[in-house]
Amino acid sequence: MYRRSWLAAAGAAAWSPLRALAATAASSPRARAVYDNPTILIGQSAVQSGPSALLGQEMRLGMKAAFEAANAAGGVGGRMVKLVSLDDGYEPDQCLSNTEKLINGSKVFALASYVGTPTCLKALPLIVQTGIPFVGCFTGAAALREFAPNVFHTRASYEQETRAIVGQVTLAERPRVALFVQDDAYGRAIEQGATKALQLVGLKPAAVTLVKRNSLDVAEAVNVLQTVRPHGVVMGSVYGACAKLIEGLGPAGRGAMYSSVSFIGTSGLTKNLGAQAAGIGISQVMPYPWRPSTPLLARFQQAMDTIGAEFSYGALEGFVNGLVVLHGLRECRNDLTWSNFIAALEGARKLDLQGYVLRFGAGIHAGSDFVDMTVINSAGRVVADAGNAGDQLPRLA
């Protein structure tokens, strides 16, 4: 097991000073000020370049599709909704800088569809202190999910995802499980979730191997896993590094069961590995996007076709975030303020998107616990309905 150093900001202690800031921001004059810009601007900081670019690109396209569909139908109260998206390269400092520009420079009304645990953790204190509405971040880390009045989560947590993954691995009677995780707050969240889920069935990680964020150097991890020879590998990194790991382990590693949480970037993994990805299990927090089996998915596919973009889990998550933002905007009618927007989402209680349900309320801003296990088949395609093995684990308190 490697030695590692984690940023203290990822811990629960980071929230202590934020609670007072959040309470002040929620009742500030800025929170009650009417947003009178002729165009409603929604801001996003997300990775658009580098080895993890696809994660942010998909989220951006999904949200753009939702807004353009709304604009084609007349917008919100006659006003168009425009996405202002900035590239942070999946680097925390750049995400914070982008957030400052979006709030104070671009004067966006709300923020949505940020990507990544370390990036969101860096920007979160400013977001909470300002009080600007923040809808949907592409991460399920526990360090981000403690209640804040202006922050709304639209996906399940990493703890829920890792429970499903570990349930699948242990049901397949593969007890020697190793972890391959990113050396940052995201990797820490996956390590903690997987370790807790393994403990529930009397196991612990056989090894924990690391890869740096935005790096494809997995040589050391490959060496460790070749020595340990695990039956299962839980991956908590991004598609490029995970693909390099599997390629590096070669034929000798094909007997292992590889599983990952949704943040891996499913379409990026299949594009990198093709048929070599066969058998990899991935937990998903959105419905299967390639089958128009619900009104939501039909709307999603039509909107994505309109802008000429591919279907993907990431794009669907961005689309869902866009619909949540649009719901809040419409409920505010002509009195568009931060406080009214937040009250509108809390007042939704059960926000049924006709294929995906979110439940919000006063003090309840984590709206979904939906997790579905998928697997990649021999053709390199994602197969849904692999079963939620997490249901087989003891229920968490």
Are 117 and 186 in the same domain?
no
Average pLDDT, the chain: 90
| pLDDT number for residue 166 | 87
Are 194 and 222 in the same domain?
yes
**Structural domains of the chain, count:** 2
The three-state secondary structure class of 289 is: coil
| pLDDT number for residue 252 | 84
Are 197 and 131 in the same domain?
no
CATH number, domain of 112, equals 3.40.50.2300
Distance (Å, whole) CA 257 – CA 32: 52
* Residue 64 in domain: yes
> What are 247-278's pLDDT values in tens digits?
999 988 888 899 999 999 999 999 999 989 99
pLDDT higher than threshold 80 for residue 22: no
The three-state secondary structure class of 169 is: helix
Mean pLDDT computed over 95-120: 98
What does residue 235 show for φ and ψ, rounded to 5 degrees? -105, 135
**49 is in which domain, residue-wise?**
39-155+290-366
**In which band, very low, low, confident or very high, does the pLDDT at 390 lie, cut at 50, 70 and 90?**
very low
Q: Which residues contact 139 (CB under 8 A, 6 or more apart)?
A: 115, 116, 117, 120, 158, 186, 189, 263
| pLDDT number for residue 6 | 34
| pLDDT number for residue 227 | 95
**In which band, very low, low, confident or very high, does the pLDDT at 29 lie, cut at 50, 70 and 90?**
confident
Percent of the chain at pLDDT > 70 equals 89
pLDDT higher than threshold 60 for residue 9: no
| pLDDT number for residue 338 | 97
Judged by average pLDDT, the poorest of 303-312, 344-353, 384-393 is 384-393
Are 165 and 260 in the same domain?
yes
Give the closest residue to 69 by CA, choosing from 325, 288, 357, 368.
Answer: 325
| pLDDT number for residue 236 | 97
Six-digit token pair at 56? 């942010």
| pLDDT number for residue 391 | 35
Tell me whether strands 281-284 and 372-376 are parallel, antiparallel or unpaired. antiparallel
Are 269 and 245 spatial neighbours (Cβ–Cβ below 8 Å)? no
Mean pLDDT computed over 89-117: 98
Long-range contacts of 209-212 (CB under 8 A, 24+ apart): 209/2, 209/178, 209/179, 209/180, 209/181, 210/2, 210/4, 210/180, 210/181, 210/182, 210/183, 211/180, 211/181, 211/182, 211/183, 211/237, 211/241, 211/245, 212/182, 212/183
* Residue 15 in domain: no
Strands, E assignment, the chain: 40-46, 81-87, 110-115, 134-138, 151-152, 177-182, 207-211, 232-236, 257-260, 281-284, 350-352, 357-359, 372-376, 382-383
Are 262 and 379 in the same domain?
yes
* Residue 13 in domain: no
* Residue 73 in domain: yes
| pLDDT number for residue 5 | 36
Are 174 and 319 in the same domain?
no
Mean pLDDT computed over 366-395: 73
Are 121 and 223 in the same domain?
no
* Residue 395 in domain: no
> What are 111-127's pLDDT values in tens digits?
999 999 999 999 999 99
| pLDDT number for residue 167 | 80
Are 121 and 215 in the same domain?
no
Indicate the pTM of the whole model: 0.91
* Residue 314 in domain: yes
Judged by average pLDDT, the poorest of 173-177, 223-227, 300-304 is 173-177
Distance (Å, whole) CA 363 – CA 346: 8
* Residue 247 in domain: yes
Are 268 and 123 in the same domain?
no
> What are 55-65's pLDDT values in tens digits?
999 999 999 99
Are 170 and 218 in the same domain?
yes
The full length of the chain comes to 397
The three-state secondary structure class of 116 is: coil
Percent of the chain at pLDDT > 90 equals 79
Are 178 and 267 in the same domain?
yes
Are 264 and 380 in the same domain?
yes
Mean pLDDT computed over 295-300: 98
* Residue 191 in domain: yes
